[in-house]
Structure formats: structure tokens, C-alpha cells
Chains A and B, each alone.
Chain A
Amino acid sequence: MTGFHLAQVNVGRIVAPIDSPELASFVEQLPAVNELAEQSPGFVWRLVDDSGADATMLRPEDTDDLLLINCSVWESVEALRAYVYRSDHLRVLSRRREWFTRMTEPHAVLWWVPAGHRPTVGEAMERLALLRERGEGPEAFTFRDPHPAPASAGR
């Protein structure tokens, strides 16, 4: 146990409003995908809106009604990777372009948080901004080049 957990955030711009027919097949799959995440080894926490079910009502940028945010915390990079790419989540992921437009700038970032910490939307967006401005580093990185957790206090 390192005393640090891995936080992730990704944002995505939906092709039409969340309650539109275009997004229906996405919304339909959300409960199962979220449940799968919660049951996956190494899952710690995920961001939800006031509904308590998912984060589809949150808008990380005031001026963008179609930008959704997804933020969660995991025990390790491996745990998150296994859920994202080696579980039934991949079914949904491989259909991403049916529901989300492509983003020209980085839209997903990873960083380490002290175990027990719950990132806010503002904090998550700051990490994304950091990645966009400075590229990958220990404070903001991606699956392509994961950085190790900081050494625990007292070492």
C-alpha cells in the first residue's frame, strides 16, 4: 500500500444533448458500465452528480453544454487499465465515436492523489490543463507513459 491512489479524468463532447435519441444507446449502457467499474478490482471512487447515479449532469466548462466529465480514483494504473481496456467497458469504448466527437487536444489525464482524497471537478480540469500546457510529467500523465506513485511519507 503506497498511500497514494491513481486519479483519472476524461472529458468528451457528446454529438447531441444527453437526452437526445442519438445518445440513448450510450445512456442505456451507463448503469451497467458504472456497476462494472465499482465491482472491478482496485476501484476506489467515482465522481457523481446530484442524482448520485452518474456524472452526466455535470458540465466542467460553463460555456459548453455538450462537454461531459468522467472522473474516478483507483488503487493503481494496472487496476484502471484492466477495467478500461480488458473488461466489458471496451464494448462501450470501441463505440465511442457514435456518441462523442473527436477532441483535438488531450482529453484524458492521470495523476496521483493521497489515498482518501476525492478530486473535485475544478481540480480534475486543472490537471487536464496542466497536461495540455506542459505535456506529460509526474503531475499529469497518460497510459502511454505512466509515472510511478510518489514515495510514501516517512521514506
Chain B
Amino acid sequence: MKIAGPQRAVFSLVITILTVLVLIAVVFPVFWIITTAIRPFPTISVPKFELIPKNATLEGFRWVLFESSFFLWLKNSLIVSAITVTLTLFLTILGAYSFSRFRFWGKESFLYGYFIASQFVGAFGITALIALYAFLARLGVINSLIILALIYTSGGIPFNTWLLKTYFDTLPKDFDEAALMDGASFLKVIYYVFLPIARPALAVVALFSFMGSWSEFILAQTLLGPENYTLPVGLWGLVGRWETPWNHFAAMAILFALPIVVFFIIAQRYLVAGLAQGGIKG
């Protein structure tokens, strides 16, 4: 579309205004939660707008770091997420490579099944919560971080396998065949050739599975006891029946969100497309 003269100016103005509005909508909650975290009192709203609250204090953060069980919950969350991300990557890489490269009996049906599962497995986990609870209780594996991580992993596998398979499909078969001719086994092909090339897709899978397991609440809250609480459950625990210390809540919410930001920054380095360019001509 080409727009000229005054029309162009109007168009550009409208775009700018819309951009600013979207920016405000995105940034405002962050701003709100930061100002709440550094207020000296536990109220979520104040009568007037202030950029930096009066008598700003880091008391909320001090309380979270030194008086709450923050580090216990952080440790639990890190364990669950680390297991989930590692297992998800390991299983989806193998699954996606097989679906992308091998012909085997039932391949289409399995892929279809994965697709269906990727659409509702999250919701299924919630609706089948009671059954899942009963099942795990019968097995005696309730209140286990590892079991929770396994559930998260199984929930993430269908979607992430599809994601990675689609990416692997775009890599020319010549890479595999060249490596096979050079003496590599299938596992070595994956390790030496596919993984380095597929880093952008792997970063996305890692990011998705980390975010999913890091912030999941309902399963964690149902299946875990207090000593195994993850951060979302711990955070929810701050919400009182009669009153909630919102400054503490906000401070913990910020610390809770921080690893996701850090993880995103790390993953972003690998989210660079175009790595596959150059090796194949034609």
C-alpha cells in the first residue's frame, strides 16, 4: 500500500497513537506492580496517580527475601522447571527427528494423535484433576516434584514435538545423508548436525516448556504439600482471607517473573534465524 502527502502524515499519526496505546496497556501493569511493591503500605490502589510513591521503600523485597519461604519455593520451582525443560528437550528432539525423517508403521496416526493432544492436553490435565489425583495417590506418588515435572513434560510434548518436527522438515535431507556417509550414526547426526542448526527452534521449545512449568498453578497447588510448594502456589498463599499484604505480594510477583525474563534474554541469543543458510545450494 502506498500513501502520499497529507494522507501519509495522518496515517503515520494514527499508527503512532495506536502504538503508544498498546505500549501503555502492556507497560501499565508492570508499572503498577512495581509501584505497589515499593509502597510502604499493603494497599493495591491509591486515590491519586504517582510515578514514584511517597516514602518508597524496599521493605516488601526485604520481607520476601528474609522472612518468607521464598527460597524454598524458588528451589522447588527450579527443580520442577529444570527437569521439565531437560526432559521435554530430550524427548521432543528424538520424537521430532523420528517423525521428520523415518517411515514407520502408524506414523500418520501418531502425528494426528499428537496434534489432537496438543490442542487440549492442558485443559485435559485440569478437567481430569480429580482422576489424576486419585490415580497418583493410589500409586503413592503424590506430593513429588519429579512426578509434577513428568506431568508437565507429558503435557508439553505433543505441541513441542510438532513445533520441532515442522522445523526439522525444513532442513534438507542432504545434511543427514552427508553425515551418514561421513560415518555418523543417527544419534550423532542429531547431536552434531541437527541440534546446532536447529538452535532457534530448540530455544523456543525450551522457552515454552520453561514458562509453562514455571507458572503452572492448579496442578502444583493440588498435588503438592507445603514443603514442596512451587513459587506460584507460595505466592497464592500470600492472599489472605481478610486482608492481603499487596506490597509483599507485588515484590514476590516481580521476583517470580524475573527468571522468565532472564531465560528469555538467554534464549533470545539463539532465536536468530538464517543459520541454515549457506550449506546447501540449489
- The answer on A and B forming one complex is no
- What residues of chain A have their CB less than 8 Å away from a CB belonging to chain B? none
